[in-house]
A and B are shown apart, each in its own frame.
Chain A
Amino acid sequence: METAMTTTSAHNWDHNVVLSVEHLTMRFGGLVAVNDLSFNVGRGDITALIGPNGAGKTTVFNCVTGFYKPTEGRIAMRHGAGLQADRIEALTRTGRQFDDDGDNRVFLLERMPDFEISKRAKVARTFQNIRLFGGMTALENLLVAQHNPLMIASSMTIGGILNLPGYRKARAEAIDFAAYWLEKTGLIDRADDPAADLPYGAQRRLEIARAMCIRPHLLCLDEPAAGLNPRESTELNELLQYIRRDHDTSILLIEHDMGVVMEISDHVVVLDYGQKIADGSAEDVKNDPKVISAYLGVDEDEVAAVEESIDMPVIHHAKKPSENGEGGQP
């Protein structure tokens, strides 16, 4: 089934790739958390990475965003269109971290330190357990995300101390940009409130707004819908659709809420025990017996019997957001 999909090449993620993970392996001592995993994230797609608890989803995230150094494998990020296989091969041989060619850059993320991945490769991320700057206001949180351009505008602080007009202008623009995202996430009325004071759902949205303030090409969301009520979940779907559509940002997300996954994902990658067991459109994956069996925790041939006995569409209820105690948080 998988081979049939790749050979047809009808999918966006086969030829218009923003991120490709190739033969990624991550070992912690004797434990193989991710084993020879390869998948692509299509430009402009919403790609979901799903799988039962402990399948290695967050580990993949931490490898992509540089918080872990992968044991083996290549993670290539492209700012320009197309596969650019030749350039990436050439870059791999040089030992350099990225190939700078105007707007058409390619990056090998497994070689870059975490902050460079965000700063240069423009891969933003959120965290499963929200990591906001609690004592700083919502606005300040978004300004911290614009640190690097503001540092340049303040000529590495010297122009800022002298309060030169160039810096004043950049600062005003940064506040406007932050206000734009606060508006989009419905937090503009709470711009001057400390982040720790916001309700849970608002904190999740603020984290997404903060990630968007680095102007990412790829936005990685670790369980964005965890702990949200149905209305907030719907709003989140709309926000993600908007980000993808109007901001030229591809989205890679880990999610347990199958409602969110099936509704918004163009492409679903399923992991189990660190290996890919399915890769395709939401519809294909939903009906894949391997996926169903992995979620039920039974052998493939017993799936039909189990499904019959519980008499409900299993995937929807296999996981609840509250259960997702994923290991390996940075």
Chain B
Amino acid sequence: MTTAPSTARMADSVKDAAIAALLVAVLGFFFLALRTDIGTGGLDLTTRWGLWFIAIAITFGVRLALNLFVFKAARPVTRGIKVTAPAGLTSFVGRFLGPFLLILALCLPFLLMALFPNRDRQFIDLAILIMTYVMLGWGLNIVVGLAGLLDLGYVAFYAVGAYSFALLAQYFEIGFWTAVPLAGLLAALWGIILGYPVLRLRGDYLAIVTLAFGEIIRVVLLNWYDFTGGPDGISGIPKPSFFGLDFSRTGGFAEFFGLDYDSIHRFIYLYYIILVLALITNFVTLRLRKLPIGRAWEALREDEIACRSLGINTTNTKLTAFSIGAMFAGFAGSFFATRQGFISPESFTFLESAIILAIVVLGGLGSQVGVVIASVVMIGGIEVLRNLGFLKEIFGPDFEPTQYRMLIFGLAMVLIMVWKPRGIISSRNPSAVYKERKKISSDMVAQGEGH
């Protein structure tokens, strides 16, 4: 390398930075350098040359630095950022991330109690919320990630599950543990009823009709006042019992085991219920993927016509994906009802469907661990922003971080999509292996209909 290219580079960079600075000077002149205030008998003009010069100088400096070290550099300093982790580390993380997360999930309530003795209730509640979304994400992953059917109305089945339990409890006084399977079955039944006419449609049309069905269920719940209570919702939904023991102050769980009564027991119990439900979802999904039905779902996502030429009944195959996905939403829905103790149609808006779908897409279609990471980031992220009290000390007491959380959240999603367009974990694990297990890059995997 001689000095000639580097002088040329320097000259180019300075020229480019000067142009950028000039642009800021021209554009900023009226906004920064001049300021008009309403004064007596017209407008008062104040000049702010200092501010104007600072803006120009910052532009020039940053642009010059970017030119020298990134845009025109022989070795851009940003190059290292793009490089992915070394292969050894990736496979190490890939192998141990799942078990690590499982152990962490199993110990989480006790870890939280030990680490945050004052705020443990709040954090366990947040963990329950995240775990609910993990379960919903895993359920939707069957429909969207494996079978490739874009379902924008998934929350409908969540609502069916929640209302099934609430209404069964209200009219027949059925407890949580009896209601969970019933709620799942009813949601699966609705999955079949809605799916049968809908699944003949393809692509965008399928997405729109599922969206409509999601809204129809909500509107019916809202307007069928005599049966569902309409906008008033249903309250007094029973809490789950621990083998017949309630979590009450007297004669309940604490007394039976000789513990001091603490309201946290119920939260820990709820956490383990949703953890077990989510793990069942995960286990069944992973199992189904390796079975002929799961392979048929993935084949359907890849090429529906080829599936039919191989003797696969595509309507039935889609229906099973739809109804199994719906069933898990039904389980999650009945859990949601018992956790809240009160449900109303407001909890089942399109936004919920969108969040669950975003979790699946962010995590990487078809990836189980991806869904967990995306749920923690999305649901946990929103909650963290709620609690950014220290920002008030920087930006003054009027600053309300929650107002910006959707903005920050949107920006983060855009960044992730730029960095990893096929989701955080975007490779596919083959369902059967002859000799050597090789990961399949997402570039080859089809995304199915409506993407």
Contacts and interface: CB of A to CB of B under 8 A. Distances in A.
B284 interface: yes
B295 to A, nearest CB: 5
A118 B433 contact: no
Interface stretch (A96-104, A131-139, A239-247, A265-273): A131-139
Contacts of A67: 305, 308-309
B28 to A, nearest CB: 51
A116 B308 CA distance: 9
Interface string B423-434: 000001011111
B444 A131 contact: no
Interface stretch (A34-42, A72-80, A154-162, A301-309): A154-162
A161 B309 contact: no
Interface residues on A, range: 35 or more
A151 B310 contact: no
A135 B295 contact: no
B299 interface: yes
Interface stretch (B45-53, B103-111, B435-443): B435-443
Contact of B309 (A124, A136, A192, A196): A124
Interface stretch (A85-93, A142-150, A277-285): A142-150
B449 interface: no
A144 B296 contact: yes
A134 B443 CA distance: 10
A146 B305 CA distance: 16
B308 A114 contact: yes
A286 interface: no
A148 B311 contact: yes
A57 interface: no
B287 to A, nearest CB: 5
A200 interface: no
Given A136-B302, A137-B440, A140-B432, A157 B311 contact: no
Interface string A158-200: 0011010000000100010011001000001001111011000
Interface in B305-338: 305-314, 320
A179 B302 contact: no
B425 to A, nearest CB: 15
Nearest to A163: B287
B434 A197 contact: no
A66 to B, nearest CB: 8
B440 A194 contact: yes
Contact of A134 (B302, B308, B309): B302
A192 B435 contact: yes
Interface string A100-129: 000000000000001110110000110100
Contacts of B432: 137, 139-140, 143, 171, 175
B303 A133 contact: yes
Contacts of B436: 192
Contacts of A131: 303, 305-306, 309
Contacts of A144: 295-296, 299, 307, 310, 312
B288 A143 contact: no
Contacts of B302: 132-136
Contacts of B305: 67, 127, 131, 330
A144 B293 CA distance: 9
A161 B437 contact: no
Contacts of A252: none
Interface in B269-299: 284, 287-288, 291-293, 295-296, 298-299
A214 interface: yes
Contacts of B431: 136, 140, 143
A140 B295 CA distance: 8
Contacts of A115: 307-314
A163 B284 CA distance: 12
Q: Which of A131, A163, A178, A182 has the most CB of B within 10 A?
A: A131
Nearest to B444: A196
B290 to A, nearest CB: 8
A157 B433 contact: no
A214 B306 CA distance: 13
B446 interface: yes
B296 A133 contact: no
Contacts of A193: 438
B414 interface: no
Interface of B: 284, 287-288, 291-293, 295-296, 298-299, 302-303, 305-314, 320, 428, 430-438, 440-441, 444-446
27 contacts: A65-B309, A67-B305, A114-B309, A115-B307, A115-B311, A124-B309, A131-B309, A135-B428, A136-B298, A137-B440, A139-B432, A139-B434, A140-B295, A144-B312, A147-B295, A147-B296, A147-B299, A147-B310, A157-B292, A161-B287, A161-B288, A192-B436, A192-B437, A193-B438, A194-B440, A196-B444, A330-B305
Given A115-B308, A133-B299, 20 more contacts: A67-B308, A114-B308, A115-B309, A115-B312, A115-B314, A118-B310, A132-B303, A139-B432, A139-B433, A143-B292, A147-B312, A151-B292, A157-B292, A161-B287, A163-B287, A191-B434, A192-B430, A192-B436, A194-B441, A210-B310
